[in-house]
């Protein structure tokens, strides 16, 4: 749905949280934040209605959302989200990484889920509004960040099946510790053959909770098999690799070529796109094409594939040491992380944390 009634600027009203944590309490959380467990003092809330467009932008105390039990999202899962990080730079500024790409992806997700498109300026303004209230929640220890979670869902109380005419957009944020506090460790991956996460014409390319709901039973199977994550295949032939539950996959060939699956049911990762750009800058060839599971298995067995990794905002880059299926496994669970994998990871995080020059102009300042 196009949003025809959008005013050109958003004036957020700010309501301070009277129960905001004291500096000491916050410091205690920031010393060991974990992931997704603690939330900042405030949240952003913008309303949308079919008649009034986007309106009532607010920064208010973080807290429960009142929902009518008939709210469409609870019945038909009309919901989308985004995920990005705010990084504390050495000069004290707070920066985010390619937030316009998150804004555009949220617009594409919105189109697929018949939700209203939030203009890019509003998306960026919403991040800045939250940071204005909660800047002190951006940690400064190495490899820590503030994980920002924008999301939008159908709030209209109506059990008929059609796109909702009342929607809310929110932004919450959660301090995040280093994903691999003891150093980056390669993981084992479970190949799901009983379940798909998305199919042709489905929602695979949208960042929506429904895709995660579809992945959870396979993810539980992965844990049972001693694996950290699950790899999904295409739903039609069960032959081509797609992605993990929430991360994209890259294979590195002996000649230095990076290969990543292309499919209409894969979520287009911003971390993936950035990593491939950095590799291309170094002269590596990059192939985006269909990749069969046999190419992975045979390639690792023959030595033609030398490294495999997964990437996404939360963990940045995760080396994959072993792929395990019902009747096979390839790789070695104890193998060290690949050299190129680790050096691309280092380069990307150096840019994100302001340790090297941002030559692609990927950073956007949020605190000014």
Ligand X SMILES: *Cc1c(COP(=O)(O)O)cnc(C)c1O
Query: Which residues contribute to the site for ligand X (CB under 6 A)?
Result: 83, 207, 211, 243, 246-248, 267, 269-272, 312-313
How crowded is the C-beta side of 218, counted as CA atoms within 13 Å?
Answer: 26
- 144 vs 352, which CB is nearer to ligand X? 352
Q: Which two tokens stand for residue 81?
A: 């989200």
Residue 85 backbone phi and psi in degrees, to 5: -120, 150
CB of 310 to ligand X, least distance (A): 9
CB of 242 to ligand X, least distance (A): 9
CB of 135 to ligand X, least distance (A): 23
- 146 vs 272, which CB is nearer to ligand X? 272
- 101 vs 366, which CB is nearer to ligand X? 101
CB of 149 to ligand X, least distance (A): 11
Cα–Cα dist 7/27, whole Å: 39
CB of 23 to ligand X, least distance (A): 31
- 312 vs 331, which CB is nearer to ligand X? 312
Residue 11 backbone phi and psi in degrees, to 5: -105, 105
CA distances from 144 to 90, 107, 130, 149 (A): 13, 28, 18, 16
- 57 vs 246, which CB is nearer to ligand X? 246
CB of 267 to ligand X, least distance (A): 4
- 10 vs 101, which CB is nearer to ligand X? 101
């Amino acid at each position: 749905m196009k949003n025809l009634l959008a005013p050109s600027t958003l004036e957020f009203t700010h309501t301070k949280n009277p129960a905001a944590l004291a500096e000491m309490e916050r410091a205690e959380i920031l010393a060991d934040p974990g992931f997704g467990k603690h939330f900042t003092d405030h949240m952003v809330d913008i309303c949308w209605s079919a008649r009034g467009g986007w309106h009532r932008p607010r920064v208010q105390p973080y807290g429960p959302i009142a929902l009518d039990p008939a709210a469409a999202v609870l019945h038909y899962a009309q919901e989308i989200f985004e995920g990005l990080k705010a990084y504390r730079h050495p000069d004290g500024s707070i920066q985010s990484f390619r937030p316009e790409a998150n804004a555009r992806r949220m617009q594409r997700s919105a189109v697929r889920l018949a939700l209203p498109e939030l203009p890019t300026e509003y998306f960026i303004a919403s991040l800045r509004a939250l940071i204005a209230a909660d800047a002190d929640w951006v940690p400064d220890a190495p490899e820590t960040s503030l994980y920002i979670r924008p999301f939008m869902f159908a709030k209209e109380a109506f059990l008929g099946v059609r796109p909702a005419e009342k929607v809310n957009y929110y932004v919450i944020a959660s301090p995040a510790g280093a994903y691999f506090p003891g150093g980056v460790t390669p993981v084992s991956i479970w190949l799901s053959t009983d379940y798909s996460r998305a199919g042709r014409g489905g929602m695979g390319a949208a960042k929506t909770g429904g895709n995660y709901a579809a992945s959870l039973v396979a993810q539980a199977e992965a844990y049972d098999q001693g694996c950290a994550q699950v790899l999904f295949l295409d739903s039609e032939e069960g032959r081509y690799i797609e992605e993990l539950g929430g991360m994209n996959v890259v294979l590195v060939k002996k000649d230095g070529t990076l290969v990543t699956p292309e499919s209409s049911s894969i979520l287009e990762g911003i971390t993936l796109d950035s990593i491939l750009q950095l590799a291309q800058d170094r002269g590596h060839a990059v192939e985006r094409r269909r990749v069969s599971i046999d190419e992975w298995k045979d390639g690792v067995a023959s030595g033609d594939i030398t490294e495999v990794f997964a990437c996404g905002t939360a963990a940045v880059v995760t080396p994959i040491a072993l792929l395990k299926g019902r009747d096979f496994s390839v790789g070695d669970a104890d193998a060290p992380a690949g050299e190129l994998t680790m050096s691309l990871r280092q380069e990307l995080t150096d840019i994100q944390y302001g340790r090297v020059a941002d030559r692609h102009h990927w950073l956007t300042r949020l605190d000014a």
